[in-house]
Amino acid sequence: MKHLALLTALVMTIACAPKVENPDVETFKAKGGKVDITCINHGSIAVSYKDYLIQIDPVKNYGGKELDYDSFPKADLILITHEHGDHYNKETIEQLSKEGTRVITNGTVHGLLGYGETMDNGESTKADKGIKIDATPAYNTTEGRTQFHPKGNGNGYLLTIGGLRVFVSGDSEDIEEYANIKDIDVAFLSANQPYTMTVEQCIHAAQVIKPKVLVPYHLGNTDMQAIKDGLEGSGIEVRLHESLR
């Protein structure tokens, strides 16, 4: 009876887990169409352009939430920044894949997954619809935290889609390489210490990159309103989404 009670409690917990449906979508103009960016959860977003779907760090279950990836069509391209469980989940990658889906990852994820393409920091490639992908550095710099995301392992991704430039930082602090990331229309910057940026680091990184639109993501318990307040008058439009906690 004890085991039955435990099993019943587990089933009820799973059944009652909050399911994320109808997440917020940000829409931007691009040449030949529009780019829709779906703010799914935490570090997971989707980018759509001319019926070409890119999933970035899709993870079906995170933070007690079950993400409704069945509501998405199969992906044409899947980008994985690094191997942590809130960014990489093999089951979700397989769920979203179809014949011809490209999977691009850092080297560590490639070793775990066993297939796909590897991109290292500084490398570039092209995808369908004229989309350009640049892999950017993503790492910790604060003493005592560099073990979380060592330099040279994880990626951020800069996507150029119909002339629209979208930067997704991955898990990173405010690093010196951000001075080389220019002409950004929309930036997704991660902000939750001890793993990524503090509020102050996120504000400074935005001031360096100077995106037209900033979307803080990977937020955890970060005070995202403080990021918006800190950039008031900067000319950077800050858009906040609770789904990205």
Could you read off the pLDDT of 53-105 as tens digits, one per residue? 999 999 999 988 899 999 999 999 999 999 999 999 999 999 999 999 999 99
Residue 127 domain flag: yes
Residue 104 domain flag: yes
Residue 108 domain flag: yes
187: tokens are 């930036």
Q: Quote the Cα angle for 210-216-222, to 5°.
A: 130
**Sign of the alpha-carbon torsion through 164, 53, 58, 12:** positive
Residue 4 domain flag: no
Domain count, the chain: 1
Residue 136 domain flag: yes
Kindly tell me if the per-residue pLDDT of 14 is higher than 90.
no
Q: What is the mean pLDDT of the chain?
A: 93
What is the band of 30 on the pLDDT scale with cuts at 50, 70, 90?
Answer: very high
Note the maximum CA span of the chain: 63
Q: Give the tens place of pLDDT for each residue, 164-184.
A: 999 999 999 999 999 999 999
Residue 12 domain flag: no
Residue 217 domain flag: yes
- Exposed e or buried b per residue across 211-241, where buried means at least 16 C-beta atoms within 10 angstroms of its C-beta: bebbbbbbbeebebebbbebbeeeebebebb
14: tokens are 């799973």
Q: Give the tens place of pLDDT for each residue, 196-228.
A: 999 999 999 999 999 999 999 999 999 999 999
Closest listed residue to residue 27, CA positions, set 45, 48, 43, 44: 48
State the pLDDT at residue 19. Answer: 65
| Domain hosting residue 158, numbered range | 19-244
Distance CA 166, CA 176 (A): 19
What is the band of 18 on the pLDDT scale with cuts at 50, 70, 90?
Answer: low
What is the band of 133 on the pLDDT scale with cuts at 50, 70, 90?
Answer: very high
> Which has the higher per-residue pLDDT, 193 or 195?
195
Residue 1 domain flag: no
Can you give the pTM of this predicted structure?
0.92
CATH code at 119?
Answer: 3.60.15.10
What is the band of 22 on the pLDDT scale with cuts at 50, 70, 90?
Answer: confident
